[in-house]
């Protein structure tokens, strides 16, 4: 059985609402959450795939983990929600774990690679 091939030009990761006024603050909130096993925040690790904000300021975050067997898999989405919920203007927060595309080291920011000794 073959897997369906995504249409060419279809993004593997849903685009974020980068033009929304809350976006930069949401990124900073995500940067306050750390993977307990890695001394880098989850945003710079590339674990936050999508930050989507609608007109009512409902925030939907799609995130992954470095590995499906991560010991904090059940807790980390709650940590992200707890970081975002107190922000002024945020109405609701939904954080969802996704496994496609799988996380890879190429998703890390240059700062994260440098801090972890990969550059």
pLDDT for residue 62 is more than 90: yes
pLDDT for residue 9 is more than 70: no
What's the whole-model pTM score?
0.86
Cross-strand partners of 95:
61
Give start and end residues of each alpha helix (H) in the chain.
23-30, 76-84, 110-115
- What pLDDT, on a 0 to 100 scale, did the predictor assign at position 21? 95
Helix (H, G, I), strand (E, B) or coil at 46: coil
Residues, the chain: 119
Mean pLDDT value across the chain? 89
pLDDT for residue 38 is more than 80: yes
Helix (H, G, I), strand (E, B) or coil at 94: strand
Instruction: Name the pLDDT band for 74 (thresholds 50, 70, 90).
Output: confident
Query: Could you tell me which of 119, 91, 115 has the C-alpha nearest to residue 35?
Result: 115
- In 10 A of CB 56, how many CB atoms? 7
Range in 1-10, 26-35, 48-57, 66-75 with the lowest mean pLDDT: 1-10
What's the rounded mean pLDDT across residues 89-100? 95
Contacts for 35 with CB less than 8 Å, ≥ 6 apart:
42, 45, 47, 65, 66, 70, 72, 76
Cross-strand partners of 34:
41
């Amino acid at each position: 059985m073959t897997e369906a091939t995504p249409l060419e030009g279809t993004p593997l990761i849903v685009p974020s609402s980068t033009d929304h006024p809350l976006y930069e603050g949401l990124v900073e909130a995500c940067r306050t959450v750390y993977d307990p096993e890695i001394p880098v925040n989850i945003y710079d690790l590339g674990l936050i795939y999508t930050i989507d904000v609608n007109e009512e300021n409902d925030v939907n975050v799609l995130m992954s983990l470095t590995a499906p067997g991560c010991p904090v898999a059940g807790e980390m989405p709650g940590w992200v929600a707890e970081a975002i919920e107190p922000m002024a203007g945020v109405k609701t927060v939904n954080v969802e774990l996704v496994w496609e595309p799988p996380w890879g080291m190429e998703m890390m920011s240059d700062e994260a690679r440098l801090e972890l000794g990969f550059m």
